[in-house]
Amino acid sequence: MVPARVRARRGADRLRRSRAHQAAFHLWARLRQVSTPGKTAARVQNAQRGARVAILRARWNDEITRALAQGAVQAALAADAKVEEFEVAGSFELPPAVAMLARTGRFDAVVPLGCLIRGETAHFDVLAHAVARSLAELAASFPVAIPFGVLTCETIEQARARSSPDHNVGAEAMAAALELVALRHAMASSTERASRSAATARPRSTRTKRRRSPGSR
């Protein structure tokens, strides 16, 4: 009698050899490849080329947000993405504008950029929490890449340090958005191939039954 552990191992081996399991395995292999630094596949890089990206800038703290937008544009152009730029009054207006742009279906990513600097009242805390929560909800709701590109700083010096050419949060937000775009393309492509494989593969039991049918060849 074959031990249960041996039977389980044999069953796992059969599953591993099945086409459906191979398709699922390759899907997760690609996802790991996308998220592993230094090991981005060529097809992921190709997905970033031609990506349609909207940069949405809040004009409040204009000096800082212009620098953020400049970094984001440079990062997008370096990846051969197509960029359109939009503006709103302040960071509080970013979430509704992001939603409007995402609903158009014209963009693979919408990159909101803003800057909040603490003042003497609780206004900073109220805005920072409201903007962060709203953008997070939008990012989880739309099939569009929506990163977080809003600075929340104690001083203007901190904001300048994070919008400089050496450390630019706008460029970082754009890079994160393009990575999400590539991830979505990789998942869609893998799912499509897995569906085609499942549709064309005939169950073994069906093939056996057909061979045993009288008069069949």
Active site residues: 123
With contact defined as beta carbons under 8 Å apart, do 91 and 114 qualify?
yes
Cβ proximity of 105 and 75 under 8 Å: no
- Report the distance separating Cα 110 and Cα 97, nearest Å: 10
Structure tokens given for 119: 């003042």
Gyration radius from the chain CA atoms: 24
CA dist list (Å): 81 to 47, 93, 121, 163, 183: 10, 25, 40, 21, 15
Tell me whether residue 122 is exposed, middle or buried, using C-beta atoms within 10 angstroms of its C-beta: 0 to 12, 13 to 18, 19 or more.
exposed
DSSP one-letter code for 202:
P
- Amino acid at position 148, single letter: F
Distance (Å, whole) CA 81 – CA 47: 10
d(CA 93, CA 20): 46
